[in-house]
Structure 1
Amino acid sequence: MVIQYKCPNCGSDMAFDSDSGKLSCPNCGRQDNIEAFPEENIQRKLDPEEAKEYHCENCGAVILTEANTAATHCSFCGAPVVLADRLTGDLAPAKVIPFTISKEEAVAAFRKWTRNGRLTPRGFMNGDRIKKMTGMYVPFWLYDIDGTADVAAVATRVRQYQQGDTIYTETDFYDVRREIDLSYLKVPADASEKMDDELMDKLEPYDYGELKDFRMPYLAGFLAEKYDYDDEALFSRVESKIVPYIDAFIGTTISGYSTVSYTNKQIQANKSKVYYTLFPVWMVYYDFENKEHTFAMNGQTGKVVGKPPISKGKVVAWFTGIAASAFAVMKGISYMVGGVLW
């Protein structure tokens, strides 16, 4: 099913506006609250070709999509369309974080970010080589996790004291046990096969206070993907993400000792609740020295992640500067203590 949102004023296609949080008409400027948008202005069309072919209600053109696309644009007339049958049933998201950064704001923020690269080539830093910037909703699973940790350790306290000319070292040994209840809320994991997991992890954190119940109009004007991996398939990755935090927390409960040696550490994590959620991401494709570099921007906070190119000349100059500064400091110290440094 193809869904398009028609302006009640002029009949143009409306799209979600990140500044106002409303459906906005680019033709007449009308804005409507998503919750109160007139049902008669929502065009729906069933299509028997469920897999990859749809038809634009505007111009009748065929819309060819990949199987996991859930929202896109008509490549002929540019109308934003939502493929509703890919967002229903088991594929229906529970929550969405809407875009709060417009494309113009994203371009400006990315250009500002490129200027902060101390070791990037000079031509990269001007930020005017953006080849394409695409706003898309990326599928994530959010996990509420309950669990327990059963920990056993041998700990010591060491103290030294002196009696007369003799220095004594006293070591006390302790058996330590901890039984800890664990609770982690909304641990994210991206569920798209196309997205680089490391890149998506670095976009965190998102402000979960802005989570909304999912409504299709939020997708109008943006691309969207449905999940490739269900919550069961990704749970092991989520467990690996929280293990360092669990270890750090366990460490805070065993303090005041000179040494701690663990003899047993059993951690059990269980899903208590899972939310299928769409996160806003600006994908930035940057052309530099005949090579396309891919970056991602958090569509809620403006945080940019990715690996920019590095200037070898700047790296050499940077290390040379550090070496020269270190030499100058050492030489100054040597003069202060009366030595000679060659």
Structure 2
Amino acid sequence: MVIHYKCPNCGDDMVFDSETGKLTCHSCGRQDAIENFSEEFITTTFSEDETKEYHCENCGAILITDADTVATICSFCGAGVVISDRVSGTLAPSLVIPFSISKDEAVAAFKKWCKHGLVTPSDFMTADRIKKITGMYVPFWMFDLNSRVQVSGNATRVRTYTSGEYIYTETKHYRVFRDINLDYLKIPVDASEKMEDGLMDKLEPYRYDQLKEFKTPYLAGYIAEKYNYDDNDLLPRAKSKIQNFIDSYVQTTVSGYSTFIPDQKHINSKKVKSYYVLLPIWMVTYNYRQKDYIFAMNGQTGKVVGKPPISRGKIAGWFAGITAGTLVILRLVTFMMGGGLL
């Protein structure tokens, strides 16, 4: 089943507006709050094979999607549609962070980010080479985890003091044990097999206090996918994401010692709760010298991640500058050691 949100004024397609948080008609400008949108103007169509195609109610085109597509945009007329059966039942997200950065704002933020590259080519942003920019809701699982951490090891306290003509160093040895209970809330792990895990991790953090109860109108005008991996599949990744935080916290509990070397560590992390959520991402395809570069932008905070092209000339100049500076320092040190300042 495919959902269209039709404008009560002109009958055109309505999409979610990231600036106002409302359904907006780009033809006549009408805006409606999502909570108050009348079901009278929500139209649905059915396709014979819901996992592969849908019929656009706006223009009648038959468009092919893969089985993971939740929301998409008609390539013929631009209408935004939501395939509702893929966001219902066990496939229904519980929470969503709506887009708060518009397409124009995303383009401007991306261009500004590119100009800050220290070793990117000077002509990287001299022309508008953005090939494609797509607003996507990517499926994530969020985990509330509880970790029971038991750590033991050897620690020392070192004290240096002077007595008479002698300097003494006193080292005391201790056996240290820590039994710690830690809670971590809303650890995000992307659940799409199409998205590169490292790229998604770098887009964090989101402002999770702005999570909202999921409603399908938030998807109108954007592309969205359903999850490929459930929470049981991704629990190991969630546990691995908190490992560095656990290690850092353990270190804070032994800060009063000069050294601490753990020899036994037992960590038991359990899932307390999991949430299926959709998070907003702008995907940018940028063409530079006949090569495409892919970037991702956090659709809430504007954070950009990706690898821009590198200027060999700038790198060579950078190293030349470092080398020249090092030679100057070495010559100055040699001059001073040779008594040149006396």
TM-score range, shorter chain: over 0.9
Kindly indicate whether the alpha-carbon contact (under 8 Å) linking 1:117 and 1:125 is maintained by their aligned counterparts in 2. no
Distance in 2 (CA, whole Å) between partners of 1:295 and 1:160 is 54
Separation of aligned partners in 1, 2:91 and 2:120:
42
The answer for the alignment partner of 2:156 in structure 1 is: 156
Q: Which amino acid aligns with 2:251?
A: G
Tell me what 1:174 maps to. 174
Cα distance in 2 for partners of 1:168, 1:326 equals: 39
1:330 deviates by 3.9
C-alpha distance in structure 2 between counterparts of 1:210 and 1:327, whole Å: 53
Q: Secondary structure at the match of 1:12?
A: coil
Number of the residue aligned with 1:11? 11
| Mapped contact 1:98–1:280 kept (Cα < 8 A) | yes
| Cα distance in 1, alignment partners of residues 121 and 194 from structure 2 | 29
The residue number in structure 2 matching 1:230 is 230
1:276-306 deviation line (CA, Å, top 9, x unaligned): 1101000000011111100000111111100
**Hey, what does 2:38 align to over in structure 1?**
38
Q: Distance in 2 between matches of 1:78 and 1:259?
A: 63
Displacement of 1:171 in angstroms is: 2.3
**Partners of 2:290 and 2:22 in 1: how far apart?**
39
Normalising by structure 2, we get a TM-score of 0.96
Report how far residue 166 of structure 1 moved. Answer: 4.3
Offset of residue 85 of structure 1: 0.6
Q: CA deviation at 1:167?
A: 4.0
d(CA) in 1 for partners of 2:207, 2:163: 60
Aligned residues: 340
Amino acid at match of 1:15: V
Query: What is the Cα deviation at residue 165 of structure 1?
Result: 4.1
Cα distance in 2, alignment partners of residues 152 and 315 from structure 1:
47
* Alpha carbons 1:111, 1:126 under 8 Å: kept: no
User: Once the 2 structures are TM-superposed, how far is the Cα of residue 339 of structure 1 from its aligned partner?
Assistant: 4.7
Give the TM-score normalised by the residue count of structure 1: 0.96
CA deviation profile, 1:149-174 (whole Å, cap 9, x unmatched): 01111111122334444444332221
Give the letter for the 2:274 counterpart.
V
The question of whether the paired residues in 2 share the 8 Å contact of 1:16 and 1:217 is answered with yes
Please tell me whether the aligned partners of residues 95 and 277 of structure 2 are also in contact (alpha carbons under 8 angstroms): yes
Aligned mates of 1:12, 1:91 — CA distance in 2: 29
**Separation of aligned partners in 2, 1:273 and 1:64:** 36
Report the equivalent of 1:214: 214
- What CA distance in whole angstroms lies between the structure 2 residues aligned with 1:161 and 1:56? 83
Deviation per residue, 1:107-129 (Å, 9 max, x gap): 11111111111201122133621
The aligned residue for residue 239 of structure 1 is: 239
| Contact residue 286 and residue 293 of structure 2 kept, 8 A | yes
The alpha-carbon deviation at position 43 of structure 1 amounts to 0.5
1:175 Cα deviation after fit? 1.5
Tell me the alpha carbon deviations over residues 302-324 of structure 1, each in whole angstroms, 9 at most, x when there is no partner: 11100111111110001111222
Map of 1:264 onto structure 2: 264
Other structure's SS at 1:295 match: strand
Q: Where does residue 123 of structure 2 map in the other structure?
A: 123
How far off its partner does 1:336 sit? 5.4
Measured against aligned partners, the alpha-carbon deviations of 1:215-258 in whole angstroms (never above 9, x if no partner) come to 00000000001111111111111111110110000010012212
Tell me which residue corresponds to 2:138: 138
In structure 2, list runs of 5 or more residues that go unmatched: none
Secondary structure of the 1:35 match is helix
Whole-angstrom CA distance in 2 between matches of 1:15 and 1:63: 19
Q: Please tell me whether the aligned partners of residues 295 and 306 of structure 1 are also in contact (alpha carbons under 8 angstroms).
A: yes
The residue that corresponds to 1:303 in the other structure is 303
SS of the counterpart of 1:151?
strand
Aligned to 1:103: 103
Aligned equivalent of 1:277: 277
Q: Which moved more, 1:42-51 or 1:128-137?
A: 42-51
Instruction: Specify the SS of the correspondent of 1:124.
Output: coil
1:185-209 CA-to-partner distances (Å, cap 9, x unmatched) read: 1111111111011111111110011
Quote the Cα distance in structure 1 between the aligned partners of 2:29 and 2:288: 37
The corresponding residue for 1:254 is 254
- Which whole-Å CA distance do the structure 2 matches of 1:278 and 1:301 have between them? 15
Quote how far apart the aligned CAs of 1:338 are: 5.4
Residue 301 of structure 1 aligns to a residue whose secondary structure is coil
